[in-house]
Structure 1
Amino acid sequence: MRIVRVREFGAPQVMRIEETDAPRPAAGQVAVDVKVAGATYAETIVRSGRYPLPLPYDPGIEVGGRVTEVGPGVDPSLLGARVVATTLGNTGGYAEVAVAEAGNVFAVPDGLTLDRAVPVFQAGAVAVGVLAAMRVRAGESVLVTAAAGRIGSVLVQLAKRLGAEPVIGGVGGPGKLAAAAGFGADVTVDYGDPGWVEAVRDATGGRGADVAVDAIGGDVGAQALAAAANGGRLGIYGFASGAWTPLDAIEIVRRGLSVVGPLGIAFAKPLDEQRADAERALAAAVAGDLTTRVHAVYPLEDAVLAHLDLESRRTVGAVLLAV
């Protein structure tokens, strides 16, 4: 079978198609005939060597397709089922066949295509977990950075459903402002604009955001901290800029801020609760309560182009590979 493999860290071009034997599922696992794989920004960080895994490394965390084989101890009724899944060890999804633990496999509801299910099931579960960890309440103002991205766009929609007001979508570049508004942001700001922190304060009556959730880190993360209200909460769940948000303990104490690692809290939840979050996201997508946008779909052979897109910050919504 074909698989994308990384034998050295570096630019997207280090990813190359290789031929290998298809993996077989062990006890408690299934094999999925992959039709759609998600390409995520997190995978560009690993591939570049900023968060290295042992080499050779096979990228690919999220896949959609049909179960073609089940290992010992797995319900045989899964055979032939149309599913989305997170891959074993969060690797090996850019391939014709991928293996997943049965507990990380989710049936795709009727009426939902794989190219809509792959972008929403894990991003939705993460977004649900992040907002729960941040204890977002109706009437609170919420700032979401990367609001036009795969997870950020879901955070905006779910914050609205929780009754947050206003929901402020921060994006990198004026071309993404309309996308963030389309996902439901009441106010949109471009963090390339030096006045964006003041714009957040203006939108919240001078107070600042009660809750700010940031996946960018670096200067943007520091500005998101500045845009949070005194006594507010900052959730840090990524560092897409390549640098974590710098934190000043004196400022945090003086302003009465709470700084939270919501992703770690979400992943520490019992597995049945994490499964329920993903299933709720899939159900919401079927019902039309949660929308996804696909920026581009590339053939497996063009995985390099998918990573170039992600690193250019041009993307709105998800980037997928068709296998």
Structure 2
Amino acid sequence: MRAAVVTEFGGPEVLRAVDVAEVTAGPGELIIEVEAAEVLFLDTQLRSGWGKEYFKVEPPFVPGAGVAGVVGAVGAGVDPGLVGRRVIAGTGSVGTYRGGGYAERVAVPETEVFPIPGELDPAVALAALHDGATALAQLDRAALGSGRRVLITAAAGSLGHWLVPLAAAAGATVIGAVRGHAKLARVGELGAAEAVDYSEPGWADRVGPVDVVFDGVGGDLGRAAYKIIKPGGLFLGYGAASGDFAEPSGNPDVTVVGLFQPDPADWRERPARALKHLEARLINPTVGDSFALADAAAAHAAVEARTTVGKTVLRP
């Protein structure tokens, strides 16, 4: 079968589509015939060699933490009635990075499989797996209510497509921070009351005081966002798209929540809940770019260049 393999740490060019050994289902596993594989910013970082202290991956490896498709076969101990079902699935357990998603077929644990409801497009359903689940986890921590001013960084990204509308639906006044004027209008369409371009000097001062920050960017941008939080406010830092986490400090009146290891049972509830949001059309995630498996390097280049909006997927 074909898969996109990271042959060595480096730029997008090290990601190449090649023939690899066929996968088989071990005990408690299923084989998914992949229709869409999600491309996470984390994939691009691991390909470059970043994050070795968090994730133990070494070339050659197949990236990809989530897929959507049809169950083609099952291993021992798995219900054979699942064959033929449309599903989304994580390739590894919670808190790990097993990879394997950038392929025509992938073996996944039964515990990480979620049926796709109704007639949802598989790429749209795939947005529930990590983006939807992560957004719901952060929102559960924030416990938002009406009257709160909320700043969301990378608001036009795949996770922002969940955070912005759900925070607005909770009654918060949402400010979406993005890079580049082309994404400002999209943030308004998602439900943000205000939008700001954080590539412009002084952007944080123009936003003014906020109660809560959801930060998926980290670095200097995350630290700038932290500085405008009101006393008694909350900073949730869950991403490092800039290359490192914000690691804010200096304001004891602000509660900082960094990366946290979720309880596996709680985490598996969230993709199922996110799929219900999609089925009810409470969330309308954008599948911005679809690439062929052979063009996985181009997909990584686009994600790193910040030219994508919403979810980026490979379609083997």
| TM-score higher than 0.5 | yes
Query: Aligned residue for 2:88?
Result: 84
User: In the aligned structure 1, how far is the partner of 2:146 from the partner of 2:267?
Assistant: 23
Q: 1:145 is matched with which residue: 153, 161, 166?
A: 153
Greater helix share, 1 or 2? 1
User: In the aligned structure 2, how far is the partner of 1:189 from the partner of 1:37?
Assistant: 31
> Is residue 2:137 matched to residue 1:124?
no
Query: Aligned residue for 2:71?
Result: 67
How many residues align? The count is: 308
User: In the aligned structure 1, how far is the partner of 2:227 from the partner of 2:161?
Assistant: 22
> Is residue 2:21 matched to residue 1:21?
yes
* Aligned partner letter, 1:219: D
Structure 2 unaligned segments of length 5 or more: list them. Answer: none
Query: Aligned residue for 1:241?
Result: 242
Decide whether the 8 Å contact of 1:216 with 1:240 is kept in 2: yes
What does the per-residue CA deviation read over 1:24-59, in whole Å, with 9 as the maximum and x for residues that have no partner? 111111110001111111100000001241222210
Decide whether the 8 Å contact of 2:31 with 2:73 is kept in 1: yes
What does the per-residue CA deviation read over 1:188-222, in whole Å, with 9 as the maximum and x for residues that have no partner? 11111223212221xxxxxx111101011111011
Query: Aligned residue for 1:205?
Result: none
CA shift, 1:21, in A, is 2.0
Segment of structure 1 superposing worse, 131-140 or 279-288: 131-140
* Aligned partner letter, 1:269: D
User: In the aligned structure 1, how far is the partner of 2:145 from the partner of 2:48?
Assistant: 38
Q: 2:183 is matched with which residue: 176, 183, 192?
A: 176
Query: Aligned residue for 2:289?
Result: 296
Report the aligned-residue RMSD. Answer: 1.3
User: In the aligned structure 2, how far is the partner of 1:121 from the partner of 1:46?
Assistant: 19
- Please give the TM-score of this superposition, normalised by the length of structure 1: 0.92
CA shift, 1:227, in A, is 2.1
CA shift, 1:116, in A, is 1.0
**Per the alignment, in what secondary structure is the counterpart of residue 31 of structure 1?**
strand
**Per the alignment, in what secondary structure is the counterpart of residue 298 of structure 1?**
strand
Query: Aligned residue for 1:252?
Result: 251
CA shift, 1:139, in A, is 2.6
Moved over 3 A (4+): none
User: In the aligned structure 1, how far is the partner of 2:74 from the partner of 2:182?
Assistant: 45
Segment of structure 1 superposing worse, 50-59 or 301-310: 50-59
Flag the 1:231–1:295 CA change in 2: closer, same or farther, 3 A: same
How do 1:104-119 residues align onto structure 2 when only pairs under 5 Å count? 104-119=112-127
Structure 1 unaligned segments of length 5 or more: list them. Answer: 202-207
Query: Aligned residue for 2:268?
Result: 275
CA shift, 1:246, in A, is 4.1
What does the per-residue CA deviation read over 1:122-162, in whole Å, with 9 as the maximum and x for residues that have no partner? 21111000111223233322110000001122111111122
User: In the aligned structure 1, how far is the partner of 2:21 from the partner of 2:305?
Assistant: 34
User: In the aligned structure 2, how far is the partner of 1:280 from the partner of 1:150?
Assistant: 17
